[in-house]
Amino acid sequence: MILLRVTIFFLLLLLLPDWYIYKTYLKPLGRKSWNRLWWTPTVLLLAALAAFLIGGEALHSYLGIYLVTVICISVPKAFFALLAWPVRLLRKRFTSSPIEIPGLCIPSLLLFGYLLFGAIKGKEHFQVREVTFSSPDLPEAFDGYRVLQISDLHVGSWKGNATAMQRAIDLCNAQQADLAVFTGDLVNSRASEMEEFIPVLSQLHAKDGVYSVLGNHDYATYVKWNSEAERLANIDTLIARQNGMGWQMLMNEHVNLYRGNDSIALVGVENSGNPPFPNKGDLPKAMKGTEGMFKVLLSHDPTHWRREVLPKTDIQLMLAGHTHDMQFRIFGFSASRFFYPEHNGLYREGNRGLYVNIGLGYVLFPMRLGAWPEITVLTLRKK
């Protein structure tokens, strides 16, 4: 059913704008052979869509390139058609203008250029976001404590581009944070994706260390395995490699961080998500022994905050990722708000907070627009 809906969506996206533009602007010019060339890109994209539907996982590695091509070609056409429709209605009442077509083409070409930037450079347009979280529960010695957060690296998507990853890690280290944390989805599925990037990721450092938790992709449920044992072995390899890089994994456990006589607890759980995402988090186990302490929770999925963290714990701050803000945000709007009430940035309930990092990497389609890859530096303050 999902596959059918996706197929129908692509058919409409590819065919409707082309049909409208051809019918409105090209067909009136008469039956000329070059008019038919208008349909060539769409026919090729439809043929590629059929190949993906038939080829399955064998063509999966090319899916991202296909999606970006569809977006860059079809979205400007759809935008042109949406602009043209009211103009054509007005033409029935007013004299047509010779600048109609150029006037419609210019914004559509600008949109094409913006989309192309997102595909070529947007996914590497790393942004450092400075955030402050204040709490009356924070120990005095931790006033001004700086936590660097990255999330959703999806290193399999960066294959062959360790140079960009190096720039991101250098930018992280330049922040000179007290603590560095990673909130899940290091790989797309397979631990082997890490091999190229271990020398780079091992360079990430902070005064009090680097800590990490698992995200939904890290459980490797998006590819076929020969057996369940093979999938579980993949997870064990992923955990071992992170620990080997100096990233301490928190698997439903916590560590205490000290400043003089004061301390706070850093709590980390396995992925805790709504179906179909894995729900492996054991928060009571992870929190055991942290009673009365200021706590920072690392939990990949932001829905965990309202499901369990707010109603059942006294955790002051949770750090999450997962949403990517759909990798697309324009004029402050992202469709991720329809799926996640908390999808980007800092949210508060009284003196308690959730920060959602929109990710440093990308998945499925190699593009980011507006929802630029993020490095967060969160400063804790005594309220």
Residue pLDDT, tens place only, 111-152? 999 999 999 999 999 999 999 999 999 999 999 999 999 999
Calpha distance 86→182 (Å, rounded) = 48
Confidence of residue 92 (pLDDT cuts 50, 70, 90): low
Q: What is the 8-class DSSP label of residue 98?
A: T
- Least confident range from 56-65, 141-150, 264-273, 370-379: namely 56-65
| Torsion, Cα of 46, 52, 55, 59 (10° steps) | 130
For 137, the token pair is 């529960």
Q: What is the 8-class DSSP label of residue 25?
A: I
Confidence of residue 58 (pLDDT cuts 50, 70, 90): low
Calpha distance 250→211 (Å, rounded) = 7
- Indicate if the pLDDT at residue 59 is higher than 80: no
Calpha distance 150→376 (Å, rounded) = 7
- Identify the residue with better confidence: 11 or 175: 175
Can you give the residue ranges of every domain in the chain? 2-120, 125-382
Task: Look at residue 91 in the predicted model and tell me its pLDDT.
Answer: 63
**Entry field: residues in the chain:** 383
Average the pLDDT over 262-270 and give the result: 98
**Dihedral sign for Cα atoms in the order 35, 41, 46, 47:** positive
pLDDT tens for each residue of 342-354 = 999 999 999 999 9
**What is the CATH architecture assignment of 125-382?**
4-Layer Sandwich (3.60)
- Indicate if the pLDDT at residue 56 is higher than 70: no
Contact 120, 364 (CB under 8 A): no
Q: Judge if the upstream peptide bond of residue 284 is cis by omega within 30 degrees of 0.
A: no
Task: Look at residue 97 in the predicted model and tell me its pLDDT.
Answer: 55
- Indicate if the pLDDT at residue 6 is higher than 70: no
Q: Which of 325, 328, 326, 324 lies closest to 72, judged by CA?
A: 328
Task: Look at residue 333 in the predicted model and tell me its pLDDT.
Answer: 84
Q: What is the 8-class DSSP label of residue 270?
A: S
Buried b vs exposed e over 235-267: b needs ≥16 C-beta within 10 Å?
eeebbebbeebebebbbbbbeebeeeeebbbbb
Contact 208, 178 (CB under 8 A): yes
- Indicate if the pLDDT at residue 95 is higher than 70: no
Confidence of residue 9 (pLDDT cuts 50, 70, 90): confident
Confidence of residue 187 (pLDDT cuts 50, 70, 90): very high
Task: Look at residue 32 in the predicted model and tell me its pLDDT.
Answer: 67
Average the pLDDT over 251-262 and give the result: 97
Q: Which of 193, 296, 188, 204 lies closest to 247, judged by CA?
A: 204
Q: Which of 313, 302, 243 lies closest to 271, judged by CA?
A: 302
Q: pLDDT exceeding 70 applies to what percent of the chain? A: 94
Residue whose structure tokens are 């022994």? 289
Specify the pairing of strand 127-135 against strand 247-249.
unpaired
pLDDT tens for each residue of 16-34 = 999 988 888 888 777 666 6
- Least confident range from 38-47, 187-196, 198-207: namely 38-47
Confidence of residue 57 (pLDDT cuts 50, 70, 90): low
Average the pLDDT over 39-43 and give the result: 90
As a whole number, the mean pLDDT across the chain is 91
pLDDT tens for each residue of 311-342 = 999 999 999 999 999 999 887 888 898 899 99
The identity of residue 349, as a single letter, is E
Report helix, strand or coil for 342.
coil
| DSSP assignment string, 291-321 | TTS-EEEE-S-THHIIIIIHHH----EEEE-
For 32, the token pair is 């000329």
The identity of residue 73, as a single letter, is I
- Indicate if the pLDDT at residue 382 is higher than 90: yes
For 86, the token pair is 């009211």
| Long-range CB contact pairs, 288-292, < 8 A, 24+ | 289/254, 290/254, 290/265
Task: Look at residue 331 in the predicted model and tell me its pLDDT.
Answer: 78
Task: Look at residue 349 in the predicted model and tell me its pLDDT.
Answer: 97
For 322, the token pair is 């997962």
